[in-house]
């Protein structure tokens, strides 16, 4: 891969490990500050989690995944081989500490504190992401049309009412809709939904892969150097120039390191003694390039735990959470199951040319990302663990990381996102 001459002739101010949306956003923000930046990734143009997301800028998702009662409901889902949750029993010993902390996150006091921490990030998303989109030329495929959550039953709608009320307290703008209003809003939906919640500030992009490409190419224009290789460990032995150690044996040194390797970040943190609970929440989708229906915005199907988004490249039907680690082969029957649900609730969709996909969401048990300096090596900064909100929080994470790299006071306090919360 071609490298930038200026960057290759000087010691990088910043080495970013990870070429997904979060790592690229960190690199973009550092470059905008005038830093010399090197980015390390095994395959910059290859498939990655950032390519297969549903495209949503989900600023309203300011509550943790572990809502009260979900842990026990999830136990029932595990007996449905194609339900919204799957756990490979061989992965249980490794996942058990994560699952225990996940259950704790649903306790009322912890749930509320996590929610306020998520809201601090989400409430400033547009302040950070719009300038980035403008700079990389992505505004023409950025759609601020809201999103629609739909309910089949009165019971499910009532069960979620307290969470919606709490989200209003957190700054979420929403309005409830009757069955008739849901049909008027999205006529292509099956006429089975009794209630809806319209989320005014949600938005979506037209093509997640294209966005990553645009951001990567803009970073190249700004002078970044690209190094192809998989980082396997961090080496802080030289306090002034910590290094990423690559599988090839190469060392990539810089004055600061940013770890933004998604679901692979835990091993890098562990290599310098920083403990973190991070697992791959494997997500699936099917994209229909010739779907043949009209859908204006992302739709979230509350009871079935899946979404449908009208991307520029086709209708993407995604969801599911599978815990099987980083090495297990994909089970594309889960993509097929999502397509079956899509056909049920979006009658008449055409599945010709359907494309199936699986990716690794980097999930923490408390749904909060890890953003901040390593307590052991202050020259190493963490930026990973965004779960379902990597795209949403990418530019904000980049801005906060840039503050740390430039020794500025971050725009919001970072204590809630520190890796030290996992130290026991």
| 83-123 pLDDT tens trace | 777 888 888 899 899 988 988 888 999 999 999 999 999 99
* Predicted local distance difference test score (pLDDT) of residue 201: 97
For residues 291 and 350, membership in a common domain is answered with yes
The CATH number covering residue 288 comes to: 3.30.9.10
pLDDT for the residue numbered 386 = 98
Note whether 212 and 291 are same-domain residues.
Answer: no
- Is residue 288 predicted with pLDDT exceeding 70? yes
For residue 93, tell me if it sits in a domain: no
Structurally, the chain folds into a number of domains equal to 3
Q: Is residue 97, in this structure, part of any structural domain at all?
A: no
**Same domain? 319 vs 291:** yes
**Among residues 256, 263, 273, 268, which one has the least CA distance to residue 373?**
256
Quick check: 5 pLDDT over 50?
no
pLDDT in the model for residue 69: 59
Instruction: Give me the residues paired with residue 143 across strands.
Output: 204
Give residue-wise pLDDT tens across range 143-175.
999 999 999 999 999 999 999 999 999 999 999
Q: Which domain holds residue 127?
A: 9-54+105-142+201-277+365-424
Q: Mean pLDDT in the chain?
A: 93
Q: Which of 352, 348, 351 is nearest to 293 (CA)?
A: 348
Enter the pTM of the model: 0.95
In a domain, 209, yes or no: yes
- Residue 309 domain-assigned (yes or no): yes
Mean predicted confidence (pLDDT) in 324-337: 93
**Cβ-count burial 150-162 (b if 16+ within 10 Å, e if not):** bbbeeeebeebee
Residues 404 and 413: beta-carbon distance below 8 Å: no
Least confident of 6-20, 227-241, 323-337: 6-20
122/189 same-domain check? no
Does residue 178 lie within any of the structural domains?
yes
Q: Beta partners for 282?
A: 322, 360
Is residue 114 situated within a structural domain?
Answer: yes
* pLDDT above 50 for 7: no
What pLDDT does residue 4 have? 44
Q: What does the alpha-carbon distance between residue 423 and residue 310 come to, in Å, rounded to a whole number?
A: 42
Let me know whether 223 and 271 are in one domain. Answer: yes
Do residues 307 and 286 touch, judged by C-beta distance below 8 A? no
In this model, does residue 6 exceed pLDDT 50? no
> Do the beta carbons of residue 389 and residue 117 sit within 8 Å?
no
Q: Answer yes or no: do 370 and 244 share one domain.
A: yes
Mean pLDDT of all residues in 405-415: 96
Q: With a cut of 60, say whether residue 383 has pLDDT above it.
A: yes
In the listed set 363, 387, 403, which residue is the last one of a domain according to the structure? Answer: 363
pLDDT digits (tens, 9 = 90+) for 57-74: 999 999 998 765 555 565
Domain-embedded: residue 59: no
Residue 62 lies in a domain: no
Would you state the structure tokens that stand for residue 49, as one six-digit string?
Answer: 């989690």
The whole-number pLDDT of residue 2 equals 40
- Rg (alpha carbons) of the chain, rounded to whole number: 21
pLDDT above 70 as % of the chain: 94
Predicted pLDDT at 92: 87
| Same-domain pairing of 251 and 173 | no
pLDDT (0 to 100) of residue 158: 97
Question: Does 342 share its domain with 377?
Answer: no
Per-residue confidence (pLDDT) for residue 190, from 0 to 100: 97
Shared domain for 358 and 291, answered yes or no, is yes
pLDDT, tens digit (0-9, with 9 covering 90-100), for 253-269: 999 999 999 999 999 99
**13 and 158 together in one domain:** no
Chain segment 174-194, per-residue pLDDT in tens = 999 999 999 999 999 999 999
Q: pLDDT value at position 320? A: 81
Tell me what pLDDT residue 345 has: 97
Domain match, 314 and 355 both: yes
Same-domain status, 222 and 74? no
CATH code of the domain containing 397? 3.50.50.60
């Amino acid at each position: 891969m071609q490298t930038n001459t200026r960057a290759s002739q000087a010691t990088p101010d910043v080495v970013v490990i990870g070429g997904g949306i979060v790592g690229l956003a960190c690199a973009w923000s550092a470059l905008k500050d005038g830093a010399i930046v090197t980015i390390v990734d095994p395959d910059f143009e290859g498939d990655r989690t950032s390519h297969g997301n549903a495209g949503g800028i989900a600023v309203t998702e300011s509550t943790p995944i572990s809502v009260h009662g979900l842990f026990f409901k999830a136990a029932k889902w595990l007996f449905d081989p194609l339900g919204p949750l799957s756990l490979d029993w061989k992965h249980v010993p490794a996942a058990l500490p994560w699952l225990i902390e996940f259950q704790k996150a649903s306790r009322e006091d912890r749930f509320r504190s996590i929610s306020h921490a998520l809201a601090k990030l989400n409430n400033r998303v547009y302040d950070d992401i719009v300038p980035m989109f403008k700079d990389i030329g992505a505004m023409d495929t950025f759609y601020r049309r809201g999103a629609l959550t739909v309910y089949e039953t009165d019971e499910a709608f009532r069960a979620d009412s307290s969470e919606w009320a709490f989200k209003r307290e957190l700054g979420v703008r929403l309005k409830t809709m009757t069955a008739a209003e849901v049909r008027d809003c999205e006529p292509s939906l099956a006429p089975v939904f009794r209630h809806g919640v319209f989320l005014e500030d949600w938005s979506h992009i037209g093509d997640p892969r294209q966005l990553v490409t645009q951001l990567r190419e803009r970073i190249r224009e700004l002078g970044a150097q690209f190094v192809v290789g998989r980082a396997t460990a961090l080496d802080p032995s030289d306090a002034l120039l910590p290094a990423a150690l690559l599988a090839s044996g190469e060392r990539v040194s810089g004055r600061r390191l940013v770890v933004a390797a998604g679901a692979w970040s835990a091993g890098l943190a562990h290599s310098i003694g920083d403990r973190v609970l991070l697992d791959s929440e494997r997500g699936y989708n099917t994209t229909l390039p010739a779907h043949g229906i009209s859908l204006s915005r992302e739709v979230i199907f509350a009871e079935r735990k899946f979404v449908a988004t009208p991307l520029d490249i086709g209708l993407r039907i995604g969801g599911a959470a599978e815990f099987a680690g980083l090495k297990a082969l994909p089970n594309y029957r889960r993509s097929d199951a999502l397509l079956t649900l899509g056909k049920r609730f979006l009658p008449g969709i055409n599945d010709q040319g359907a494309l199936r996909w699986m990716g690794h969401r980097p999930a923490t048990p408390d749904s909060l990302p890890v953003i901040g300096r390593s307590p052991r090596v202050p020259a190493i900064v963490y930026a990973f663990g965004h779960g379902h909100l990597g795209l949403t929080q990418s530019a904000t994470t980049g801005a906060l990381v840039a503050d740390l790299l430039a020794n500025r006071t971050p725009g919001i306090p970072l204590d809630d996102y520190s890796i030290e919360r996992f130290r026991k």
